Structure 1
Amino acid sequence: MLRKVLLHKSGCPQLKRCFSVSNNLLEKHNCKVLVVGGGTGGCTVAAKLTKWMKKDEVIVLEPADKHYYQPLFTLCGGGIKTVQDSYKSMQSVLPPKAKWIKKAAGKFDPDSNTVTTVDGDIITYDVLVVATGLQLRYEKIPGLVDALEKFNNVGSIYLPQYAEKTFKVLQGFKDGDAIFTYPQSPVKCPGAPQKICYISEDVLKSMGKRGGAKITYNTSLPVIFGVKRYADALWEVVKKRDIKVNLQTSLVEVKPDKNEAVFENLETKERFTSGYSMLHAVPPMSPPDVVTSCKQLVNEAGFVDVNKDNLQHVKYPNVFAIGDCSSSPNSKTTAAVAAQAPVVHAHIKAFLTNDKSSLAYNGYASCPLVTGYRKCILAEFDYDLTPQETFPIAQNRELWSMYVMKKDFMPVLYWNLMLKGNWNGPQIVRKMLRLGF
């Protein structure tokens, strides 16, 4: 009753002013190309576009302050690199000719060529590039978030704070079961879950703890690696280093107060419980909710529905996707983005200039499978899982040179060439090293 009296005495004009102020705070933006996401794909495409487009014709919608080179997280988990090595400010990596709107997307409307931010700003575009990546769904595994936040024997290399924690878990390990997992979902950098397993084995060996450790890699996949050439090599690695591998085995629950993990055999649907002294868990992943909720844009699995050859949307010709959120059936790696970027750029330019482009993406991806300190198998392959090796040597071996390239050379290439739009993958290098063949 008192509230009604106060509202009556204050009058409607004050309320109208409140609503008026809120409406005035909303902004409208227009651009030729809107890039949603300031990660690897978003930065790289924006850099290529701004080389020939005018200032502010490209907008990058990205709320984060930091840009992470995520492939280093695996090395952080093994104490080889630090999280401080893995990031730079977002401002420093975005192209200066692009307009940065530091907000998150709240709604896609491809029928009206608009994206609305979470606080109501409306951005109208001629071309949309969806580069949102994948979200990490730790909460999908009951008990996992508590285990990561409150217990000192569970780690995960997919977030910077948990990557650093993973090395602390290794340092605190004494003996017993060390279990590593791969989830029942698409994941970014699908080699990383077993890389940290191999690196951890080497860490424990260097600390004199390997003798008391039983190491198990539980993967939901039916194979250790999708490309047979490298899978054969990896089976030799796990055999030589006494690492047990359980295929089609998915983590479904963690009971951190009991140091127990519950797994499901995906073939038989039977569940079993394993005790652990250390657990490394990889979360299920999916495109962000703002993407999956726009049914016009996505396929049944929630990924942006694009043609796998040119990464152009199957329904909206002015919409493209790059990186992990796209439906293209490639391995989701940074190297894949490098190969996708020139294709996306070429077809955007063709669309804007009423031209055509024949440039196509063949599904190239690369996975530097670090197998320990100073050892790496460099896997490279295409859509058909056919090896596409750059160097004129057998890359299905543990090589020190590939380790150095992964640890020291690739980060420099990423920051200084790729994010500036000047690296399209190793095709030219491959031709030069193989004398054009």
Structure 2
Amino acid sequence: MSKHFQVLVIGGGTAGIMVSSMLKRKNSSLQIGIIEPAETHYYQPAWTLVGANTYNYEKTSRPMSSLIPKGVEWIKESANKFEPETNKVITKTGLEITYDYLVVAPGLKIDPAMIEGLQDAMDKGVVCSNYTNPKHTWEILKNFKGGTALFTQPATPIKCGGAPQKIMYLADEHFRKTGVRDNTDIVFALPSGSIFGVKIIADTLMSVVDKKDINVRFFHKLVKVDANKKIAWYEIVKDLSGGGCVTIADGDEASLDRDIQYNYKDVKVTREGDLYGIHFDMMHLAPPQRAPDFIINSPLASETGWVDVNKGTMQHVKYPNIFSLGDVSNLPTSKTGAAIRKQAPVVVENILKLIESNVLSGKEYQGYTSCPLVTGYGKMVLAEFDYNQNFEPDPKLKEFPLMITDSSKEHWRLWILKKYMLPYLYWNKMMKGIEV
């Protein structure tokens, strides 16, 4: 059995629904199909707030059927194989679907198995993650009685790069309210040498770290989690041989490498060979993330496993009738819904122009993305930047009645944007193909 569509979209997430809705809105006669196995569509940006008990989890989901645009055929299957030379996608059940144009947007795969012991620790409830179960995160925060609260970020690209630290700032505030903060050390361990890639935002976040008295440990790559002993094992991914100094061993603050530690706290650390084990009483992490297997093993993937596209046009580098956007693409920007908001209109214009006159539209994506960095209950910073890591506020956000003059600083109005306005825009504009 086979089907044919003018435009075939893989993925019913933010990118897939937005592109198909926009295409239908601009050309209602287009024959479009969406391959998506899931029954439910989630608004994942709110899961940080769910994890801190300030957003209702039930409000983050809607039936997939309510979001598939009218006139678009929903193929409730999983894509399995690409045959781009013959313009064909084969599903897991063997259904063959051909296309004139293909949009690849299945999102990424959360893969705890990439870190030894992590799946076991998550299954046992020892480690929590807003990425997989934000309601569990709240249970952990609510029942925390003090000790070492460890927050960590993996060495892989992840959805919303700021998410691993947002929940930490909310946790700090919650611990202060419940009176356990005085006997708590908060540690943020991350693989990079900076808390954020855009300097003006990093400066703001380091002032938040100062205010909240958080210990940041740079160049820490998580490699193993021991659920029974509650130890997170890290490699130090910076060459320390030149300095000859201790990194995080015995609490002698004078001998610590200042580039690796910020605001040192004497939490229990065990050393085994080249690994450093931070003992924790609670741990939240973003699990490692990668492209889905059917993408990695396909002719569409780059060497890193993501779909290989031109960073301006989002057209595949080898197959001109294939486009990719969102988390699965190898665009050198953060994997966020805000990036998709700017990517989708470019993909849509390019496909429509190709259909009409077999040339690209000339419209290009400049790498805009934004990370809404919640820094406490009622406070947020909005990191907006382009491919060059330049701080680039979106003039459209200035049109909202928020009167925000500098989104690189903490502000309660940005919290209003995050909690109320962005979900409204998502469901009522972006998902309906209206450019915002």
TM beyond 0.5 = yes
Query: Any gaps of 5 or more consecutive residues in structure 2?
Result: 241-273, 399-403
Instruction: Find the residue that maps to 2:276 and give its secondary structure.
Output: strand
Asked if 1:228 is matched to 2:199, the reply is yes
Choose from 310, 314, 322 the match for 1:307.
310
Asked if 1:41 is matched to 2:48, the reply is no
Match of 1:167 in 2: 138
Query: Any gaps of 5 or more consecutive residues in structure 1?
Result: 1-26, 425-437
Kindly state the Cα deviation for residue 388 of structure 1 after the two structures are TM-superposed. 1.3
Instruction: Find the residue that maps to 1:224 and give its secondary structure.
Output: coil
Counterpart contact for 2:159–2:327, Cα < 8 Å: yes
Asked if 1:375 is matched to 2:384, the reply is no
Counterpart contact for 2:381–2:414, Cα < 8 Å: yes
Measure the CA separation in 2 of the matches of 1:112 and 1:178.
53
Kindly state the Cα deviation for residue 39 of structure 1 after the two structures are TM-superposed. 0.2
Instruction: Find the residue that maps to 1:71 and give its secondary structure.
Output: helix
Choose from 353, 361, 365 the match for 1:350.
353
Match of 2:218 in 1: 247
Counterpart contact for 1:56–1:99, Cα < 8 Å: no
Measure the CA separation in 2 of the matches of 1:363 and 1:213.
39
Kindly state the Cα deviation for residue 56 of structure 1 after the two structures are TM-superposed. 7.0
Kindly state the Cα deviation for residue 193 of structure 1 after the two structures are TM-superposed. 0.6
Choose from 158, 163, 170 the match for 1:199.
170
Measure the CA separation in 2 of the matches of 1:34 and 1:369.
34
Match of 2:326 in 1: 323
Measure the CA separation in 2 of the matches of 1:28 and 1:199.
50
Q: Provide the TM-score with structure 2 as the length reference.
A: 0.88
Q: How does 1:48-63 map to 2 (within 5 A)?
A: 48-54=22-28, 57-63=31-37
Identity %: 42
Choose from 359, 362, 371 the match for 2:363.
359
After the TM superposition, list the runs of 4 or more consecutive aligned residues in structure 1 that deviate by more than 4 angstroms: none
Counterpart amino acid of 1:51? R
Measure the CA separation in 1 of the matches of 2:328 and 2:5.
22
Counterpart contact for 2:314–2:323, Cα < 8 Å: yes
Measure the CA separation in 2 of the matches of 1:147 and 1:262.
13
Measure the CA separation in 1 of the matches of 2:115 and 2:360.
46
Moved more, 209-218 or 52-61: 52-61
Match of 2:122 in 1: 148
Match of 1:8 in 2: none
Counterpart amino acid of 1:204? F
Counterpart contact for 1:181–1:250, Cα < 8 Å: no
Match of 1:23 in 2: none
Could you report, residue by residue, the CA deviation over 1:70-105 in whole angstroms, capped at 9, with x for unpaired residues? Answer: 101111111111321111000101101110000000
Choose from 233, 236, 240 the match for 1:262.
233
Counterpart contact for 2:128–2:285, Cα < 8 Å: yes
Measure the CA separation in 2 of the matches of 1:30 and 1:383.
36
Asked if 1:73 is matched to 2:73, the reply is no
Summarize the Cα distance change of 1:251–1:356 in structure 2 as closer, same or farther, 3 Å threshold.
closer
Counterpart amino acid of 1:94? I
Measure the CA separation in 2 of the matches of 1:380 and 1:356.
27
Moved more, 349-358 or 104-113: 349-358
Counterpart amino acid of 1:297? L
Instruction: Find the residue that maps to 1:317 and give its secondary structure.
Output: coil
Measure the CA separation in 2 of the matches of 1:362 and 1:353.
24
Counterpart contact for 2:7–2:30, Cα < 8 Å: no
Counterpart contact for 1:177–1:215, Cα < 8 Å: yes
Measure the CA separation in 2 of the matches of 1:110 and 1:274.
47
Kindly state the Cα deviation for residue 167 of structure 1 after the two structures are TM-superposed. 0.5
Could you report, residue by residue, the CA deviation over 1:236-284 in whole angstroms, capped at 9, with x for unpaired residues? Answer: 1101111111111021111111111111111149311111100112111
Match of 2:101 in 1: 127
Could you report, residue by residue, the CA deviation over 1:276-322 in whole angstroms, capped at 9, with x for unpaired residues? Answer: 1001121111110001100x211110111111001001111000001
Counterpart contact for 2:370–2:384, Cα < 8 Å: yes
Kindly state the Cα deviation for residue 109 of structure 1 after the two structures are TM-superposed. 1.1
Kindly state the Cα deviation for residue 54 of structure 1 after the two structures are TM-superposed. 4.6
Q: How does 1:205-224 map to 2 (within 5 A)?
A: 205-224=176-195
Asked if 1:29 is matched to 2:41, the reply is no
Measure the CA separation in 2 of the matches of 1:155 and 1:356.
45
Measure the CA separation in 1 of the matches of 2:288 and 2:239.
21
Measure the CA separation in 2 of the matches of 1:168 and 1:268.
39
- How many residues get paired? 394
Match of 1:401 in 2: 413
Counterpart contact for 1:55–1:98, Cα < 8 Å: no
Counterpart contact for 2:351–2:360, Cα < 8 Å: no
Match of 2:61 in 1: 87
Asked if 1:339 is matched to 2:348, the reply is no
Counterpart amino acid of 1:234? L
Could you report, residue by residue, the CA deviation over 1:340-359 in whole angstroms, capped at 9, with x for unpaired residues? Answer: 01100000111111244111
Asked if 1:422 is matched to 2:396, the reply is no
Asked if 1:157 is matched to 2:169, the reply is no
Counterpart contact for 1:217–1:244, Cα < 8 Å: yes
Instruction: Find the residue that maps to 1:180 and give its secondary structure.
Output: strand
Q: CA RMSD in A?
A: 1.3
Match of 2:285 in 1: 281
